[in-house]
Structure 1
């Protein structure tokens, strides 16, 4: 084993503040990237659904107006 005990491992030979801060910062950044990707995905899906509804309404209103024009 590289370290004699768990406390020696946690102390990292006196470099613990730097090592554990680096691990913590890396974990926080990775979690942040994951959160941002998930939020962005939700936003894109919401926008695509909004566009699809808008296009459907436009097609339906175009059909209604052309049908009314032919009926006269």
Structure 2
């Protein structure tokens, strides 16, 4: 997933799966980022439908990107 380019630095982000925050605080904190940034994270999924939301925050507010994926394996969310 990509968060759109912007001129203000992204200060932090949050990742949710089915409305539950899944990325630990220490991973969510990032150095301020301007323009593009690529980060790879393993996101725990539940069996079946998973609604993933990524929120990126800067001085103006937040941007949200959403995607739904289907997972046939064993649930990784505890």
- Scaled by the length of structure 1, the TM-score of the pair is 0.17
Which structure shows the higher strand fraction?
2
Q: TM-score, normalised by structure 2?
A: 0.16
**Higher RCO (C-alpha 8 Å, min separation 6):** 2
User: Where is the helix percentage greater, Structure 1 or Structure 2?
Assistant: 1
**Higher alpha-carbon Rg:** 1
